[in-house]
Amino acid sequence: MIKKRLDAFFNPNTIAIVGASDRASSWSKEIYSNLEKLNFPGEIFPINPRRSTVWDQPAYPSLSETPVPADLAIIAIPAEAAIEAVKACGEAGVPSAMVVSSGFRDAGPAGAELQVRLTAAAVEHGITLIGPNVEGFINYHGPVAAYGAEMPPRSCRGSISMFSQSGTAAWTFIHMAGDRGVGVRVATGVGVEATIGIGELLEWAAADSETTVAACYIETIRDFERLSTGLEAMDRANKRVVICCPRVSGEAAKAAVIAHTGELLGDTTLRDAALRRFGAVVVYDPIALFETALLLENAPACSGKLAAAMQSGGNCTLFADALNEARVPLEKFSAATMSKLSEILPDFSHPRNPLDVTGQAIFDSDIYCRAIDTLAADPEVGMIAIDVAPSRTHPGDSDLSTILRYAGKVQRESGKPVISVLTTPVSYTGRTAELIAEYGVAILQGHASAAAAIASLYEVSRERLPIAERHTDKPEVAVPPGILDEVQASAIFTQYGIERPREAVVSNPAAAAEAARELDCRVVVKLVCAEVPHKAREGLVKLSLDSPDAVKQAAQQVQDRAREMGVDATQLLVQEQLAAGPEFLIGVTIDPLYGPAMTVRSGGGGVSGESAFHMLPLRRGEATEIAAGAAAGSSIDLSDGELKELANVVERFGWLAEDLSDCILEIEANPIIITGGRAVAVDALAAAKDQTGEN
């Protein structure tokens, strides 16, 4: 259904422009001019009840008085009147509308109420509506340029569809495409998404035979379920999606998002993990968005190491630095490849990765071509980066073109992507653009954005494994509402086979001393108290107690301190103190928008490492990947056995989160100590929904 509706929207035979005006500064005038520039083949009906002609054409007082019902109404009048115009579309038999007008959800509470009415009018009359607060769209295959901003001087049809919550991001994308001779299928804004959002547009793109890659700019996710449905449709269609999202790391940026979209922004780390879970790649800059879409459109899937072969030592250094920031390693070449390269390159060159083929290779194309050939023949190499573009003054007739033509041949024959990475922006026109398309080598601009694109290509090339199989039954677990104390939280751990130290719950210092005698080891005494989650900071944990008398004294001190704080001091935990070992934090949060997510990083008193989130349920082998990544990210060396133990706990936390996502808000073990061949959860925190099911 969405495919049919949006096909009709993007391919109108007749367009009515409501609010048509001869004023040069009006949106309607710019839209009309762009329709003319792109040679829209259909009829355009200016709608203005106060004018008999607009743009030297007959003007019509209303939508119901055009010669035939328009296929699309472009509405460029104040917000309140725009609602009535949408109703008029329904009465006049106009099936689609685009509302350019602002003053809706983007304008605060009063505007949000207007948007509710706008949405209701569109739904009531069955109108496909994009906007409000949108600059418009361009269907390069139409051709239809219902677009209210400056068009690029050159446009060409292609297979990248661009969907954006920002008019500026869309404008940047189409102008870069024009400058570089890159074809675009459709570029459209969505505004503040009254009825049609990026999720529906992705569904359309998945079914659209002309679209191979979708590039999206998203500032805020208003309906993750609709967006995920669109991402799933693209994944099933084996089409690639790249999404640019702002990180919004400062207060000024957060305020800007609210001012632009009328929305608060949730946890961006969780957002990015959720988008990746549904097959999208995420970048953080509109330039990287364009370069990544270009690479994903042109390059085959890849695996194996990246090899760089560049004509300048400076380029090698800059590119290597950018790749390091993007976490794309440049691994050493094999001894056999090094030996072959030494035979090809000038004596003053020193083969390494990145490879400096030297400036001589530009004037002796055989050197560069043989180096590319050697790298492609290395079975460990999966992608090759060069820094060559055809001459703009002598297209098709230079060593540069010879090298690029040969690189395209190597890519086709080897199946390995060969890409060119340039330092500075370049505009390609005429024969030069034709040659680039003919050679089939993606030419990227800027080391940082190119590195982000390369990282994205590796990401989408990885096999997406199925959900991991569960090898234990789901336990029956009763979760009390509210904040859970350590004993309650650890009881959940035990049900899921997550090991705890030997321990006992007692109510007074004498009982604590007796428990220590039975444990017969060095112990820890803790207060059992949900009100104070970080007990050690408040003096409510005593460590390294090696006698019953010491335990009794420590237990008394803990209870006295608790009473001073005015918290419940009736329960104490006497716990085996484990031998030192690597410490990790494993936490699960049930996000109301994105669902259950897990973080694993270095733990203990000084939590470190990145707070990366992994959406649940886990895929096959993902628990081991997460455990290894957490260890590497915190520079912790684990043996194979220790890694296996940590991965086992990660896996069980995943099951726990999946089973209890309807009642748990968050649950954490910090630290998990790897000691004596065991992974043991030493502390536990949890929060559950209250009895009404609320947070």
Label residue 396 exposed, middle or buried (CB < 10 Å: 0-12, 13-18, 19+). middle
Residue 492, domain member (yes or no): no
Do 287 and 304 fall into the same domain? Answer: no
Do 541 and 642 fall into the same domain? Answer: no
Of the residues 271, 298, 325, which one is the last residue of a structural domain? 298
**Cβ-based neighbour number of residue 68 at 10 Å:** 10
Looking at residue 633, which CATH number applies to its domain? Answer: 3.30.470.20
Given a cut of 90, whether residue 268 has pLDDT beyond it is no
Q: How confident is the model at residue 342 (pLDDT cuts 50, 70, 90)?
A: very high
Within 8 A by CB and 6+ apart from 407, the residues are 372, 384, 386, 388, 418, 420, 439, 441
* pLDDT digits 0-9 by tens, 213-227: 999 999 999 899 999
Do 135 and 273 fall into the same domain? Answer: no
Give the separation between CA 682 and CA 604, rounded to whole angstroms.
10
Of the residues 412, 441, 461, which one is the last residue of a structural domain? 461
* pLDDT reported for residue 263: 41
Pair 592, 659: CB distance under 8 Å: no
Do 125 and 185 fall into the same domain? Answer: no
Residue 481, domain member (yes or no): no
* pLDDT digits 0-9 by tens, 584-626: 999 999 998 899 999 999 987 655 545 689 999 999 999 999 9
Label residue 692 exposed, middle or buried (CB < 10 Å: 0-12, 13-18, 19+). exposed
Residue 147, domain member (yes or no): no
Beta bridge partners, 128, equal: 96
Do 293 and 305 fall into the same domain? Answer: no
Give the separation between CA 659 and CA 675, rounded to whole angstroms.
28
Label residue 413 exposed, middle or buried (CB < 10 Å: 0-12, 13-18, 19+). exposed
Of the residues 516, 541, 576, which one is the last residue of a structural domain? 576
* pLDDT digits 0-9 by tens, 480-511: 999 999 999 999 999 999 999 999 999 999 99
* pLDDT digits 0-9 by tens, 114-170: 999 999 999 999 999 999 999 999 999 999 999 999 999 988 899 999 999 999 999
Average pLDDT, the chain: 92
Q: Is 450 or 389 the better-scoring residue by pLDDT?
A: 450
Residue 387, domain member (yes or no): yes
**E strand segments, 528-604:** 541-545, 572-576, 583-591, 595-602
Do 306 and 356 fall into the same domain? Answer: yes
**Cβ-based neighbour number of residue 563 at 10 Å:** 11
Do 174 and 265 fall into the same domain? Answer: yes
Four-CA torsion 88, 93, 99, 104, nearest 10 degrees:
50
Do 21 and 128 fall into the same domain? Answer: yes
Record the tokens describing residue 57, joined without a space. 């054409």
Do 14 and 114 fall into the same domain? Answer: yes
Residue 531, domain member (yes or no): yes
Do 192 and 279 fall into the same domain? Answer: yes
Residue 495, domain member (yes or no): no
Within 8 A by CB and 6+ apart from 580, the residues are 673, 675
Looking at residue 555, which CATH number applies to its domain? Answer: 3.30.1490.20
Record the tokens describing residue 343, joined without a space. 């035979």
Do 216 and 319 fall into the same domain? Answer: no
Measure Cα distances from 670 to 221, 289, 534, 585, 588 in Å. Answer: 32, 38, 10, 5, 12
* Angular region, 572: left φ>0, alpha ψ -120 to 50, beta rest: beta
Range of 531's domain? 502-576
Looking at residue 3, which CATH number applies to its domain? Answer: 3.40.50.720
Residue 366, domain member (yes or no): yes
Record the tokens describing residue 541, joined without a space. 């944990």
Count of the separate structural domains present in the chain = 5
Within 8 A by CB and 6+ apart from 632, the residues are none
Q: Which of 254, 223, 229, 225 is nearest to 241 (CA)?
A: 229
* pLDDT reported for residue 262: 39
Tell me which residue has tokens 């006497």: 574
Kindly report which listed range (124-128, 243-247, 256-260, 413-417) carries the lowest average pLDDT score. Answer: 256-260
Measure Cα distances from 522 to 12, 117, 515, 516, 547 in Å. Answer: 79, 68, 12, 8, 8
Do 453 and 531 fall into the same domain? Answer: no
Measure Cα distances from 548 to 501, 542, 576 in Å. Answer: 18, 13, 13
Q: How confident is the model at residue 261 (pLDDT cuts 50, 70, 90)?
A: very low
Looking at residue 208, which CATH number applies to its domain? Answer: 3.40.50.261
Residue 400, domain member (yes or no): yes
Q: What is the mean pLDDT of residues 538-549?
A: 95
Measure Cα distances from 47 to 36, 84, 110, 131, 244 in Å. Answer: 17, 14, 27, 19, 37
Starting at the earlier edge strand, list the strands of the sheet with 144-147.
144-147, 136-139, 184-189, 157-164, 213-217, 240-244, 281-283
Given a cut of 80, whether residue 693 has pLDDT beyond it is no
Pair 457, 418: CB distance under 8 Å: no
Record the tokens describing residue 396, joined without a space. 């098709």
